[in-house]
């Protein structure tokens, strides 16, 4: 019985290591991602080049992902059409791409609620010094409203997405 339990534990650990270290398909060389669609309900970020789907990434979202971000601190990821408006290679979460939230409609809605609108919505990697978590970050929604990828995935997007790229975030 003890051997069976030990074998099961070792098998689980081996599978977890293989899952985390198994290489994923990389973007083709010289790719330029010119449109991004995020499907929150599927936890997917779809990267397009010239109207062709190039790669689908599995993402994590905010702690309370259902619904459109209404104000700062609601832990929701916004929904709507935005742009990539910044790139930060020195982020506290490896690297990030800034999303142009809030727009004027977002600001007006938060004001109507009497709440601060917030901002700083990003596509980012894993918190610095925790990159070893790798693909395990996908197992739960853990951000404050951002879209999280593994560090190698955010490296790919960082290199292939230009400021001004449109990002459509769907429910």
- Beta strand segments in the chain, E: 33-39, 44-49, 52-58, 80-91, 94-99, 122-124, 147-148, 161-170
> What is the extent of the structural domain holding 130?
28-170
DSSP 7-36: HHHHHHHHHHHHHHHSPPPPPPTT--EEEE
Structure tokens at 144: 């404050």
Catalytic residue among 68, 94, 109, 124, which? 124
Give the mean pLDDT per block of 10 residues along the chain (171 residues): 72 63 78 97 97 96 91 94 97 97 94 91 95 90 95 96 98 97
Number of domains in the chain: 1
Catalytic residue check, 68: no
Catalytic residue among 15, 94, 109, 146, which? 146
> Could you tell me if residue 130 is inside a domain?
yes
> Could you tell me if residue 21 is inside a domain?
no
Residue 16 has what pLDDT? 57
For residue 70, give the CATH number of its domain. Answer: 2.40.440.10
> Could you tell me if residue 162 is inside a domain?
yes
Are the C-beta atoms of residues 60 and 76 closer than 8 Å to each other?
Answer: no
Residue 19 has what pLDDT? 63
Catalytic residue check, 146: yes
């Amino acid at each position: 019985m003890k051997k069976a339990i030990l074998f099961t534990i070792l098998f689980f650990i081996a599978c977890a290591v293989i899952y985390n270290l198994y290489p994923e398909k990389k973007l083709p060389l010289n790719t330029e991602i010119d449109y991004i669609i995020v499907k929150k309900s599927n936890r997917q970020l779809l990267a397009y080049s010239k109207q062709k789907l190039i790669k689908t990434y599995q993402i994590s979202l905010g702690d309370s992902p259902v619904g459109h971000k209404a104000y700062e601190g609601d832990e929701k990821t916004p929904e709507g059409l935005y742009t990539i408006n910044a790139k930060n290679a020195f982020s506290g979460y490896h690297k990030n791409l800034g999303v142009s939230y809030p727009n004027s409609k977002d600001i007006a809605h938060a004001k109507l609620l009497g709440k601060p609108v917030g901002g700083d919505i990003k596509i980012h990697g894993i918190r610095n010094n925790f990159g070893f978590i790798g693909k395990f970050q996908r197992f739960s929604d853990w951000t404050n409203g951002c879209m999280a990828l593994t560090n190698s995935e955010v490296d790919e997007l960082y290199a292939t997405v230009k400021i001004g790229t449109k990002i459509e975030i769907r429910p």
